[in-house]
Structure 1
Amino acid sequence: MSRRAVIQSSAALLSASFVAQVTAAFGQEKLAGSGQVVIFSYGGSFTDGIRRHVYEPFTKATGIKVVDVVADFAEPQVKAMHQAGRVDWDVAIISSPSYPELREAGVLRPIDYALWDDEALKGIPEPDRLESAVVAIRNATMLVYDERAFPKNGPKNWADFWNVKAFPGPRGLDGSVGWRPMLFALMADGVAHKDLWPLTDDKIDRALKKLDEIKQHITKWWTAGGEPIQLLINREYALTSAADGRALTAVQQGAPLRMVWDGATMGLTYWTVLEGGPNSENAQKFIAFVNRAGMAAAFTLATGYPGPNANQLNYLPAKLAPLISINPDNAAKTFSMSDADIAWNLAKRPDGKTNWDHVQERWLAWRTR
């Protein structure tokens, strides 16, 4: 299962006529240009999708060529280029925990929101439009289950995930990053979303005690994003945590899976324009372009991961709306870290380690005992 399935299943919508419709107004003078822009992406089907359905329409509408560069993560290269005093990229996608550090280091240029149209400004909430970044992807880690295992009245939240009598079967959780299973455990134990962070030692103790209850039922601790969905399809899991984009791709292909939004943890990645990049003006035009509602819909269909522009719902197939995080009904059930939560995670402890490091150390110790 790959993001390519979303591209294939949405071929009719992402046709030449659709692209022509949503890009008709993009040839305005303020977005027209020349030359090129160098943009980071993750490679594979992700890059294949946005190259075809975002980059190519951008070039057709504006006259600006896109040169894409690929890596697993942008942050190491961005820092190295900044330190070397030679920035070869124009646009990078960075994680929300990395944003404060890069902003303070002067790595990022302010976003030129004067280039944006009204539909983008109204569709993207102000908290997602930062001074030097704008949300690119809202990704969720959520409960997903096999409908063949629970054809009626399947699990509806993390408390149900822990209820092995009512919902029997092999389970999966992320084994590499500890804070998410800890949050799921706390929610299963009745902790409200607003009280999850910070993960102080008493909350870690409570979470690990709750995880003790379920540990023997975890048949595999998955570590790669594609694992849990494939194991569900193979019936090696009945229910598991999984990424929403992976689940969406499988559902679009017809897999008998159900996505549960209650208690999903949301993560953010940001579009950024790099200070000192060779084509900063073109970079700003790309950021304005990709956040237009029609192109936001094309991005979602091409990659499986939605950005924050709620107006893209006007362009997406009706059957897709219940499956994505920007649907208001889904968003209301999710949990996101605040800026204060991120700051706490990055804060140093007396031993010089961050709180984030401490949480992970507690997790790894629990896993190996």
Structure 2
Amino acid sequence: MTDSINGGRQQSGLSRRALLGAAAAMTIPAIARTTTAFAQEKLGGSGEVVVYSFGGSFTEGVRRYVYEPFTRATGIKVVDVVADFAEPQVNAMHKTGRVDWDIAYLVAQNYPAMHEAGMFVPIDYSLWDEKSLVGTPQHTRLIDAVAIYGVGMVMAYDQRAFPDGGPQNWADFWNVKKFPGPRGLFAPEATRNMVSALLAAGVAKKDIWPLTDDKLDRAFEKLNEIKPHITKWWTAGGEAPQLLINREYAITTAYDGRAIAAIRQGAPITIVWDGAYLRYNYGVILKGGPNTANAQKLIAFLNGAQIAAGWTLGTGYPGPNTNQLTYLPADLIALLNINPENASKCITENLAWLTAKRPDGKTNVDYLQERWLAWRAN
């Protein structure tokens, strides 16, 4: 199941370098300077740390704004290895007993089974500074994993299609008379579409979880209404904003980071946060890795408020430490999922329910995906 930045990362014409404007250029050197003293005192060392990364502009941004400052401050070299997904390699290394990486970034839904298999070491939160601990919500700091970035699936619309004001919620997305025009939805995955449909059907945010069978029936009935108006089911992350820019969509779902990059390049796109679906991806330290102590130091470093801001500027996807907002440009803060105003409107993924087993042994998310694929095929 694809997530966040994976699908179509390098195919889009919308580069995350749009996030790296003059304000960012002035901000990051100050960020690096303010963290140096703390890092040298508590995180200094030698040797290296081997970190998985997605490649492309994501890796370029993290290298520039996180890894290189970490090396300068601590003396520890970061070696990044690139793959589309970390999970297959982590599972293979665990089975063979030869672990070559130290840190991996995981799709949240894959974490529970890997945690149960004992693949990770506990995070050493004693290395974190006070701003990291205070600014990062407890539910994102697990025993052996930490939310490394959040991805919002938002509604986005073309301002040119609605000069008098666009849709404000999922009921408006379904209202093709009041807000006419071609629409887009994300093809590969069920969960986020189910939540949008339930909100459009009038289910309150507090009542979305769990996605019981009766709610799923209601969601599919609602999706039947909008299906004829979906002119293209997008799959790659850059497609949705590009199709808005091309006027092939009037309204669509989109990854927040992709929409933000387009907006900061001047695209006439508006993000709607009401009912956005928020999912976290996790950073983990692999048990048996060659440089565990250095891995702990890098995890502590990148979750510091100032460096977390660098991560956001470099990738477009913020970690959960809200203290980073102090160090970010005001125009970017307004667009982020960790902006308290935006966050209050989001529905956070219920990972425990999605990964729970049904009586037939399938997880809820697998069952949901099977129903989704069957519905899409009809």
Q: Name the TM tier (shorter chain).
A: over 0.9
Secondary structure at 1:306's aligned position in 2?
coil
The corresponding residue for 1:306 is 318
Which string of whole-angstrom CA distances, capped at 9 and with x for unpartnered residues, describes residues 113-138 of structure 1? 11111111111011111110111011
Deviation (angstroms), 1:333? 0.4
Alignment map for 1:1-369 (pairs within 5 Å)? 1-8=14-21, 10-15=23-28, 17-344=29-356, 347-350=357-360, 352-369=361-378
Supply the distance in 1 between the matched residues of 2:246 and 2:188 (Cα, whole angstroms).
Answer: 22
Deviation (angstroms), 1:336? 1.1
What's the C-alpha RMSD, in Å, of the aligned pairs?
1.4
Supply the distance in 2 between the matched residues of 1:223 and 1:10 (Cα, whole angstroms).
Answer: 32
Is the Cα–Cα contact under 8 Å of residues 349 and 355 in structure 1 kept in the other structure?
no
Normalising by the residue count of structure 2, what TM-score does the alignment of the two structures yield?
0.93
Once structures 1 and 2 are overlaid, which stretch shifts more, 202-211 or 22-31?
A: 22-31
Secondary structure at 2:220's aligned position in 1?
helix
What is the one-letter code of the residue matched to 1:272?
V
Which string of whole-angstrom CA distances, capped at 9 and with x for unpartnered residues, describes residues 307-352 of structure 1? 00100010001111110011111111000123432343xx1442x4
Secondary structure at 1:23's aligned position in 2?
helix
Is the Cα–Cα contact under 8 Å of residues 18 and 265 in structure 2 kept in the other structure?
yes
Supply the distance in 2 between the matched residues of 1:237 and 1:9 (Cα, whole angstroms).
Answer: 31
The corresponding residue for 2:10 is none
Deviation (angstroms), 1:81? 0.4
Secondary structure at 1:305's aligned position in 2?
coil
Deviation (angstroms), 1:2? 2.3
Which string of whole-angstrom CA distances, capped at 9 and with x for unpartnered residues, describes residues 234-290 of structure 1? 000001000001001111111110111100011111111111110000000000100
Supply the distance in 2 between the matched residues of 1:43 and 1:7 (Cα, whole angstroms).
Answer: 18
Supply the distance in 2 between the matched residues of 1:274 and 1:14 (Cα, whole angstroms).
Answer: 32
Deviation (angstroms), 1:154? 1.1
Normalising by the residue count of structure 1, what TM-score does the alignment of the two structures yield?
0.95
Is the Cα–Cα contact under 8 Å of residues 10 and 301 in structure 1 kept in the other structure?
no
Deviation (angstroms), 1:21? 2.7
Supply the distance in 1 between the matched residues of 2:117 and 2:153 (Cα, whole angstroms).
Answer: 30
Is the Cα–Cα contact under 8 Å of residues 199 and 359 in structure 1 kept in the other structure?
no
Gaps of 5+ in 2: 1-13
Is the Cα–Cα contact under 8 Å of residues 135 and 323 in structure 2 kept in the other structure?
yes
What is the one-letter code of the residue matched to 1:57?
P
Once structures 1 and 2 are overlaid, which stretch shifts more, 1-10 or 220-229?
A: 1-10
Secondary structure at 1:151's aligned position in 2?
coil
Give the share of equivalent positions with the same residue, in percent: 61
Which string of whole-angstrom CA distances, capped at 9 and with x for unpartnered residues, describes residues 212-240 of structure 1? 11111110011111111110010000010
Is the Cα–Cα contact under 8 Å of residues 149 and 282 in structure 2 kept in the other structure?
yes
Deviation (angstroms), 1:33? 0.3
Count residues in correspondence.
365
What is the one-letter code of the residue matched to 1:313?
L
